[in-house]
Structure 1
Amino acid sequence: MKEEQKNFILFAVFAALVLFGWPMISHWIFPQQPPAPAKMVDGKLQPVPNPGADPAANSAKAIRNRDAVLSETPRVEIDTPSLKGSINLKGLRIDDLVLREYDQTVAKNSPPIRLLSPSGAEGSYFAQFGWQGANAPGADTVWQADGDKLTPATPVKLTATNSAGQVFQVELAVDSNFMFTVRQTVANRAAAPIAVTPYTLISRGQRSTDTSQWAAHVGPVAATTDAAHYIDWKDIESTPQQFSTTGGWVGFSDHYWLTAAIPDQRASVNIQQRGTAAQQYQADVARSQPITVQPGQQSSYTSHFFAGAKEVKLLDAYQKQYDIAKFERAIDWGWFEIIERPIFTYLSWLFKLVGNFGVAIILLTITIRGLLFPIAQKQFASMARMRQVQPKMKAIQERYKDDKPRQQQEIMKLYKEEKVNPLAGCAPMLLQIPIMFALYKVLLLTIEMRHQPFVFWIRDLSAPDPATILNLFGYLHFTPPSFLAIGVVPVLLGISMYFQMKFNPAPMDEMQKQVFAIMPWMLMFLMAPFAVGLQLYWITSNVLTVLQQQWLYSRHPEMKVPVEKPKAAKAK
């Protein structure tokens, strides 16, 4: 009896450590949720502003009002199906850009995501194009434009001439998505040759409000032909990160958004990430060798600039179209890419088929369970054999309770004689762990899942359930702590897990019974902060498991027969 009490106390301590320590551990292991798009207030769903979407540039905290800053310099309008903004002709900067197709919240009248802002306003973030070399245009140069609007059908040519007789020209073109083509030309009308080095820089006046962690990088990125380098903000504040490569790109990655300076993939270039303690950051790329332009000659250099959403298929298409090294690595797929990519592709196909990502996740779950069904059959058969040898195993434990080495030896001999494997029952669970982790990353990292509704109050499958029970769905005006913010969907998950374990064969060991009894409710708390889409996957999987178990019980009726305890245990 004392041994059982000791085991129960140890289990209780372990359960408490898991329950309260899990949020801290999961912060590093799993990607963190983006800000919830909605919350319950007085029983009604209300959108929540996204603090990372538009950094309060027109608020009292702003350095200067963004609209005022934009009005101070001559500009060329940017107008495409995906982008809206302007080019600053002073210094030749793209410093005003919003993403038309992506809103800050799930509200119908939500403003679009702002990606770039001018220097002097809060959230300064821009791209600049130019040359290094004598007499090259500088940050104060005002360029002349041959048009007043940049569209996919109307490129814009910008020109600056210096007193020495050189003409610098930048032709900007943009497609209907997020890619700019930048053609830089130098015409030398002087009597002596000149040497100039074309460059592109991306300046960012603050860190991203998104959180970077082990499983989901946010921050500086530099890609070479060999690999994509995910760099920490702090690292470049003290020491610049430099790479020499032929092919690649450099930029800044947010949770869903990306800016990238993409050089000519056939030219040898130097790319660099650097920053300051004041959290001012710059990514730049320049040719390794300057271009020499002889008198009466001209030379051109073509690069690209990406500013937009990290759509999976679009990144893949750009990588193929322009032969950009490692461009698909703008999304930090991580170690499980080999599983995540097929899941994303299949889930996207199901979404196109049914028009609802929640239904698509249910169909994905049915598919996965179908593929794992043969393994589950073997698992159940293994459990049936294990159940048959339980009395013999208990008898051995009683017989050699004072001789642990001999006890283990006899148990292993029993397993071998009866041809059972105690680990065989773990196979389906072990296989589902990487699948669940891969699905979790797909739900959180891919923008295609952002703000995707399911039914009723679930307006975003990539975010936690907003219908928290502890504050009575918002009627009590307080926000529960994260480990108590239990929504309706996590409760359904706990109930489904309870019934799944209830239909499992009851273990003989009392300690195991205690573990199985409390596990569904522990998982309810542990899974509450996770994406609703992942919880939906697990609930569906549990329901299918219960149905599967009922069918397997019909094939193995011996599993319902109570296990007879050994006589020694009865006598005790």
Structure 2
Amino acid sequence: MDNQRNLLLAVALSGLLILGWDMAMRVFYPQASLSGQPDAVATSSEAAPAAASPAAIGGAGGGGAPVDLDAALASPERVRIDAPRLEGSINLVGARLDDIELKDHRDALGEDSRPVQLFAPQGTSGQYFAEFGFLANGQRLPDDLQWQASGTTLTTSTPVTLTHTSEDGLTYSITFSIDDNYMIDAVQSVENTGTAGAVVQPFALINRTSANASPSTFNAHSGPMGAFGDTVEYGPDYDDLAEEGSHTPAGGAPDWFGFSDIYWLSALVPTDQKDATAGFRSLGNDIYRADLIYAPQTLAPGAKISRDTRLFAGAKESVVLGDYERAGIENFGKAIDWGWFEWFVKPMVWLLRTLYEFVGNFGVAIILLTVIIRGVMFPIAQKQFASMAAMRAVQPKMKALQERYKDDKQKQQQEVMKLYKDEGINPLAGCLPILIQIPIFFALYKALILAIEMRHKPFVLWIQDLSAPDPAKILNLFGLLPFDPPGFLGIGVLAVLLGITMWLTFRLNPTAMDPVQQQIFSFMPWILMFVMAPFAAGLLLYWVTSNLLTLAQQSYLYSKHPQLRAQAEKDKADQALADKRKG
């Protein structure tokens, strides 16, 4: 009985350790402090001009009259974007990329839903845009500056250049190009055609509202993030940034940085990291900005400088991010917050994606994944049952030892361990399959939350999105009643199946339990039914399938170890008789 209690305690503590690990590491290893900015690099042979910080970029935050999205996009002062996976437009007023839609991703279920609107103009409810600009002698070019375009449409084969010449003889240009996925390249150039020298600094920024941002949770960060030096910073959160006002990453030169949602990412990628300074700031009214500013350059008459910055604006598809990382963007695959179990979660995503490509149904892929996992674990389950059978065989000897040394617990424990050694029994073998299941379950949980490959994937009948909770809620009669049960009260069909199948597996448990353990295992399936109800339907599908396979596996192994079944039936009969006597 003591061993059984220890087993139950070990499983509970292991579960707390796995689920709490990520949160604990965030507490004990906080994000980089709000330290000062790295020194700017001067490349002129003359004395280095004073560097303007990201704060000098200025620019408005939120507030003002709301702007209608369709009206803003109807302006004729726009250059169209038409790429294989992106479409939208560049605003010639301010040289802003403030209209980007993702062709391959919809904002909701249904064929009539719109593509995901990632970027939107300033003042709209979904304000989110990127801007490439310049500081000249410490002053920013006006926000309402009208740029001239070399073409009408930006495609993968037709770059577009925006130009403007100021009164002091400085000619500014921004050449945009785009690839087949989600990367836009912007080459910013300044040529001094005047008679006096000037100090210039190209900059780039991403401006967004947090009103439509994904919530940041303990296991999936949403908000500012980036790779600096050898580290990836997942933070600060929007609330922390609003409180602090600004944040300058301390990890080193920026490889990439920007704003992340669960499924989407916008990131600036400077080509010359050592010449660039990165920072985040709050502009008020739930508006936030990521700033990239290059070191100041003294531009003599007739001289010209250029800086190349890329902008990623798209979906966090693990394959695409991995391709960009292999092409030279350090740690870009970590834009997906895999957490400390990256080594296990990523192979899980790969296997699920491979199975999905093979069968064409993601629910079926999850079922096949479960079969594969249980198949791999079957030899371990066999050893577990063999160990249980051996434990049953030595029960009489163990009870004799407990009776003989009942007044000397230390000696009793020593004799019991000697008995285990002599009989070749590992008392912990029974908990190994459970411990292995914990990281597998957690990895699948993270995969369903983070991997966009799982978003909006249907299964059968009423389950049209396996990354969302089961929509068939019992308390509102499967949608017939006009209300949506909150949280754990939203029990669906899969949650009920989870409770029933888990109860059946506990009923077949071959280990004898005391009354307290019996009560715990009697209530646990129904408690988990409520706890798991708000989780992704795909996760419940995995667990239900795993329970069904466990039932089949236990029935088979009972046939191989009949002494277990006989002893289990005897234990239940003895327990029923004891309960009857107490009653």
Task: Please state if 1:66 is matched with 2:79.
Answer: no
Instruction: Tell me by how many angstroms 1:347 deviates.
Output: 1.2
What number of residue pairs does the alignment pair up?
518
> Residue 462 of structure 1 aligns with which residue?
467
> Residue 554 of structure 2 aligns with which residue?
549
Assess if the C-alpha contact under 8 Å between 1:207 and 1:233 holds in 2: no
Counterparts of 2:400 and 2:128 in 1: how far apart (Å)? 72
> Residue 291 of structure 1 aligns with which residue?
297
Question: 2:363 is aligned with what amino acid?
Answer: G
> Residue 112 of structure 1 aligns with which residue?
115
| SS of residue matched to 1:305 | strand
Counterpart pick for 1:301 among 302, 307, 313: 307
Assess if the C-alpha contact under 8 Å between 2:126 and 2:212 holds in 1: no
Change beyond 3 A, Cα 1:25–1:419 = closer
> Residue 324 of structure 1 aligns with which residue?
329
Instruction: Tell me by how many angstroms 1:400 deviates.
Output: 5.7
Counterpart pick for 1:514 among 508, 511, 519: 519
Counterpart pick for 2:198 among 172, 187, 194: 194
Deviates more, 1:516-525 or 1:447-456: 516-525
> Residue 88 of structure 1 aligns with which residue?
91
Counterparts of 1:481 and 1:157 in 2: how far apart (Å)? 52
Assess if the C-alpha contact under 8 Å between 2:254 and 2:278 holds in 1: no
Instruction: Tell me by how many angstroms 1:93 deviates.
Output: 0.5
| SS of residue matched to 1:367 | helix
Counterpart pick for 1:314 among 278, 302, 320: 320
Counterparts of 2:473 and 2:198 in 1: how far apart (Å)? 67
> Residue 221 of structure 1 aligns with which residue?
225
Task: Please state if 1:272 is matched with 2:279.
Answer: yes
| SS of residue matched to 1:248 | strand
Question: 2:258 is aligned with what amino acid?
Answer: G
Assess if the C-alpha contact under 8 Å between 1:195 and 1:291 holds in 2: yes
Assess if the C-alpha contact under 8 Å between 2:22 and 2:340 holds in 1: no
Assess if the C-alpha contact under 8 Å between 1:137 and 1:160 holds in 2: no
Counterparts of 1:477 and 1:68 in 2: how far apart (Å)? 35
Counterparts of 1:211 and 1:316 in 2: how far apart (Å)? 25
Instruction: Tell me by how many angstroms 1:407 deviates.
Output: 4.8
Counterparts of 1:169 and 1:149 in 2: how far apart (Å)? 17
Instruction: Tell me by how many angstroms 1:560 deviates.
Output: 1.6
Counterparts of 2:156 and 2:257 in 1: how far apart (Å)? 24
Assess if the C-alpha contact under 8 Å between 1:73 and 1:89 holds in 2: no
Task: Please state if 1:255 is matched with 2:259.
Answer: no
Counterparts of 2:370 and 2:223 in 1: how far apart (Å)? 33
Counterpart pick for 1:133 among 136, 141, 165: 136
Counterparts of 2:264 and 2:389 in 1: how far apart (Å)? 51
Change beyond 3 A, Cα 1:206–1:542 = closer
Task: Please state if 1:525 is matched with 2:549.
Answer: no
Deviates more, 1:397-406 or 1:553-562: 397-406
Counterparts of 2:140 and 2:291 in 1: how far apart (Å)? 17
Instruction: Tell me by how many angstroms 1:464 deviates.
Output: 1.0
TM-score w.r.t. the length of structure 1 is: 0.84
Change beyond 3 A, Cα 1:470–1:408 = farther
Counterparts of 1:205 and 1:247 in 2: how far apart (Å)? 23
Question: 2:321 is aligned with what amino acid?
Answer: L
Instruction: Tell me by how many angstroms 1:482 deviates.
Output: 1.7
Deviates more, 1:207-216 or 1:404-413: 404-413
Assess if the C-alpha contact under 8 Å between 1:249 and 1:271 holds in 2: no
Instruction: Tell me by how many angstroms 1:205 deviates.
Output: 2.9
Task: Please state if 1:472 is matched with 2:460.
Answer: no
Counterpart pick for 1:123 among 123, 126, 138: 126
> How many percent identity over aligned positions?
49
Instruction: Tell me by how many angstroms 1:144 deviates.
Output: 0.3
Change beyond 3 A, Cα 1:27–1:473 = farther
Instruction: Tell me by how many angstroms 1:512 deviates.
Output: 2.5
Task: Please state if 1:451 is matched with 2:459.
Answer: no
Counterpart pick for 1:539 among 539, 544, 555: 544
Cα RMSD for the two superposed structures? 3.0
Counterpart pick for 1:165 among 134, 148, 169: 169
Aligned 1:47-62 pairs, distance under 5 A: none
Assess if the C-alpha contact under 8 Å between 2:456 and 2:464 holds in 1: yes
Structure 1 unaligned runs (5+)? 1-6, 16-20, 30-60
Structure 2 unaligned runs (5+)? 25-63
Question: 2:316 is aligned with what amino acid?
Answer: K
Assess if the C-alpha contact under 8 Å between 2:161 and 2:176 holds in 1: yes
Assess if the C-alpha contact under 8 Å between 2:283 and 2:289 holds in 1: no
> Residue 103 of structure 1 aligns with which residue?
106
Instruction: Tell me by how many angstroms 1:208 deviates.
Output: 4.1
Counterpart pick for 1:147 among 133, 145, 151: 151
Instruction: Tell me by how many angstroms 1:256 deviates.
Output: 0.7
Deviates more, 1:234-243 or 1:389-398: 389-398
Assess if the C-alpha contact under 8 Å between 1:78 and 1:84 holds in 2: yes
Q: Deviations over 1:127-180 (max 9, x none)?
A: 110122227633121100011111222211100001111111101111232110
Question: 1:307 is aligned with what amino acid?
Answer: A
Instruction: Tell me by how many angstroms 1:312 deviates.
Output: 0.7
Change beyond 3 A, Cα 1:390–1:525 = farther
| SS of residue matched to 1:283 | strand
Instruction: Tell me by how many angstroms 1:405 deviates.
Output: 4.8
Question: 1:537 is aligned with what amino acid?
Answer: Y
Change beyond 3 A, Cα 1:544–1:419 = same
Assess if the C-alpha contact under 8 Å between 1:247 and 1:265 holds in 2: no
Change beyond 3 A, Cα 1:272–1:400 = same
